[in-house]
Structure 1
Amino acid sequence: MQDAILNGTDARGETDRYRAKREMIVAAASEVMNEQSAKGLTFADVARRVGLNTTSITYYFKRKDDLASACFDRTLDRFEEVLDAAMALPAPPERVDHFLGAHFDRLERQAQGQEGELAGLSDLRAMDEPTRGRLMARWRQVFRKTRELFGQGDCRATKDLQSARAHVLLENVLWLNAWIRRYEIDQYGRVRERLMQVLRHGIAVPGAAWKPDIWPVGEPAATSEPSRTSFLLAATRLINELGYRGASVQRIASELNVTKGSFYHHLDAKDDLVIECFKRSFETISETQRHADASGGDEWHRISSTIATLLDFQFSERGPLLRTSALAALPPRVRYQMIERSNGIARRFAGMLSDGISEGSIRPIDPLIAAQAIMASQNAAFDLRKWAASMEPELAIRLYASTICYGLFDDGVI
């Protein structure tokens, strides 16, 4: 062992040079996956980015899925390291601030070229077994540790609320990659503080009552012959659950008990399917925003009703909305179009928040950053569907809405 230490090797015989080269390959592969999704990962692309030939890559990773798995493990390692450090702090607000701050510090180092990207986790569910089971177990451990940032739940109600908080916090951290580059690097610290203000205190002014309207939005799926809406709904649920790669055309058709030919009667290709699923989701959000514009009351009532209506849709048989993580699977040109649509929706939320701040019904916050927090929080609602099914829909909506409307640490407002 002493000789191994002196020679720069560990107990497995790996040298420092081997580990450094492996890390370089994983970092490059993570960038490829973020640009093209796991299905677009190739040894040739990774080799070109690190200045090696393809054969050299196979010395470290025998299969493409082994490399993808290593990228996911690297991301999960970083999350657990940050969570373990955060748990050493005494109070939930300090822990969450540390957790959020560590991710902003990482993004700043990445923007400065001092650290490689972490792979997004959108395709984690699409990995083959037994790798999928192992990685999902690790993700559940990350979730449990995130929930523990808010303390130990001593009853079901507390644990449910902490679960909602954990989902919202994680989704906001994962969503940062989609919008943080709009800001100059020297503004990252300010953005972090403004986002933490939203997460800590919410968007509602003190004493704002929770009395939203629930508006009818979204087209229900046909109950007889499968319609285009039926295909989009089945595909949305499967993509959210299994990722782009895991939601095959055959599987979507099987969900509806129809042939693959029926699928292609409605849509030309799988990428077209994802695009249409996004369009359906974005149109549902826009429809809700239009209801808000036409409704009475102040901006707090309009925004809280928008959030409640979208949550009601998420938890209903008409839902869910498509998770924005599916954007990674789309060709770059189309992906940017979908991101622009998402940004347009976020800007509309920002306008509502800005008007609410002016009239005094919304807390003084950065409306652009708060709008992104609302967008990120919609992703979390899909994860909440599983446990929300065991409680009254109104309670599920109230628990979830409290995280963004009143902040992550208010136990008694809703």
Structure 2
Amino acid sequence: MRKGSSVGTPDEPWTSFTDRRGEREEKRIAVLRTAAQAFNDMGYHATSLDDIARRLNVTKPTIYYYVKNKEEILFECVRIGLEMLDTASTEVTGHGGSAHDELVAVMTTYVGVMTMDFGMCVIRVGEEPLTGESRRTLRALKRRIDLKFRDLIERGIAEGSIAPCDSKVAAFTLAGALSWVARWYRPDGDLDAAAIARQSIALLLNGLRPRPD
């Protein structure tokens, strides 16, 4: 309320509501990210809500303000990870260049997400502990990402920038290999995400055979 006025300006209540909603969402994401870290470190079944609360230095009832239960936490962690993959792959395609170039860009962003908390949770935990409907939702997201790989491979074959192959097998092989980065990546390791992406992609696309200088 402004000085000398008996009522607030029309937008003040909405601004206040928006700020509170934004702050709540930030805290909710913090809860989910902390949970993803715990799941990645200890496993889903071995992690309790008490463990997550301790990591956040809050009480267990505080967790329930942001999520209903542990299953919802896992669903949201995996969903966010998959949507990060989907969004990142969309952002690096459609800007010109060959399908091969776009495939490399998608693979690079894929590795980047796989080295993040939510991305690692997609692979280290996944949707298996969830109920049927949740699993179906997440698998639909996975299919969407798989189809992007296949489309790029098929386009590359058609234009001659990628060698003829079974696009389904190729997409599964590429995504499977890159996903496994989430299993062994360590933030304190010798290689950062960018270096891992470069080396992994070079091996997958060029193989191990010696090449001329």
TM-score normalised by the chain length of structure 1: 0.41
Q: Say if 1:387 and 1:228 are closer, same or farther in 2 by CA, change over 3 A.
A: closer
Q: Give the alignment partner of residue 58 of structure 2, picking from 258, 264, 268.
A: 258
Output the CA distance in 1 between the equivalents of 2:119 and 2:142.
Answer: 18
In the TM superposition, structure 1's runs of 4+ consecutive aligned residues that sit over 4 Å from their partners are 316-319, 410-413
Q: Say if 1:412 and 1:325 are closer, same or farther in 2 by CA, change over 3 A.
A: farther
Q: Which residue of 1 aligns with 2:128?
A: 328
Paired positions, count:
189
Aligned-pair CA distance for 1:277: 1.1
> Any conservation in 2 of the 1:243–1:326 contact (CA below 8 Å)?
no
Q: Give the alignment partner of residue 309 of structure 1, picking from 99, 109, 118.
A: 109
Aligned-pair CA distance for 1:390: 2.1
Q: Which residue of 1 aligns with 2:35?
A: 235
Output the CA distance in 2 between the equivalents of 1:368 and 1:360.
Answer: 18
Q: Which residue of 2 aligns with 1:368?
A: 168
Output the CA distance in 2 between the equivalents of 1:276 and 1:229.
Answer: 9
Instruction: Report the RMSD for the aligned CA atoms in angstroms.
Output: 2.8
> Any conservation in 2 of the 1:234–1:255 contact (CA below 8 Å)?
yes
Aligned-pair CA distance for 1:412: 6.6
Q: Which residue of 2 aligns with 1:245?
A: 45
Q: Which residue of 2 aligns with 1:109?
A: none
Q: Say if 1:235 and 1:387 are closer, same or farther in 2 by CA, change over 3 A.
A: closer
> Any conservation in 2 of the 1:356–1:362 contact (CA below 8 Å)?
yes
Q: Give the alignment partner of residue 81 of structure 2, picking from 269, 272, 281.
A: 281
TM-score normalised by the chain length of structure 2: 0.75
What is the letter of the counterpart of residue 350 of structure 1?
A: R
> Any conservation in 1 of the 2:39–2:125 contact (CA below 8 Å)?
no
Output the CA distance in 1 between the equivalents of 2:170 and 2:107.
Answer: 13
Q: Give the alignment partner of residue 382 of structure 1, picking from 164, 178, 182.
A: 182
CA-to-partner distance for each residue in 1:288-335, whole Å, 9 max, x for gaps?
221133322111111111111222333357854521753210112321
What is the letter of the counterpart of residue 196 of structure 2?
A: A
Q: Which residue of 2 aligns with 1:406?
A: 206
The residue correspondences of 1:21-32 to structure 2 (distance < 5 A) are: none
What is the letter of the counterpart of residue 338 of structure 1?
A: L
> Any conservation in 1 of the 2:99–2:156 contact (CA below 8 Å)?
yes
Structure 1 window deviating more from structure 2 (270-279 vs 321-330): it is 321-330
Output the CA distance in 2 between the equivalents of 1:238 and 1:402.
Answer: 32
The residue correspondences of 1:135-154 to structure 2 (distance < 5 A) are: none
Output the CA distance in 1 between the equivalents of 2:198 and 2:93.
Answer: 22
Identical-pair percentage: 21
What is the letter of the counterpart of residue 377 of structure 1?
A: A
Q: Which residue of 2 aligns with 1:143?
A: none
Give secondary structure in 2 for the equivalent of 1:329: coil
Contiguous gaps of at least 5 residues in structure 1 = 1-221
Q: Check if 1:350 corresponds to 2:150.
A: yes
Give secondary structure in 2 for the equivalent of 1:375: helix
Q: Say if 1:365 and 1:264 are closer, same or farther in 2 by CA, change over 3 A.
A: same
The residue correspondences of 1:196-211 to structure 2 (distance < 5 A) are: none
Q: Which residue of 2 aligns with 1:296?
A: 96
Aligned-pair CA distance for 1:380: 1.0
> Any conservation in 2 of the 1:281–1:322 contact (CA below 8 Å)?
yes
Q: Which residue of 2 aligns with 1:185?
A: none
Aligned-pair CA distance for 1:229: 1.9
Structure 1 window deviating more from structure 2 (321-330 vs 334-343): it is 321-330
> Any conservation in 1 of the 2:89–2:110 contact (CA below 8 Å)?
no
Aligned-pair CA distance for 1:348: 2.0
Aligned-pair CA distance for 1:280: 0.3
The residue correspondences of 1:107-126 to structure 2 (distance < 5 A) are: none
> Any conservation in 2 of the 1:236–1:322 contact (CA below 8 Å)?
no
Q: Give the alignment partner of residue 159 of structure 2, picking from 356, 359, 362.
A: 359
Output the CA distance in 2 between the equivalents of 1:348 and 1:376.
Answer: 14
Q: Which residue of 2 aligns with 1:183?
A: none
> Any conservation in 2 of the 1:278–1:322 contact (CA below 8 Å)?
yes
CA-to-partner distance for each residue in 1:334-387, whole Å, 9 max, x for gaps?
212322221222112111111111111122121112222233224311123227
Contiguous gaps of at least 5 residues in structure 2 = 1-21
Output the CA distance in 1 between the equivalents of 2:209 and 2:191.
Answer: 21
Give secondary structure in 1 for the equivalent of 2:200: helix
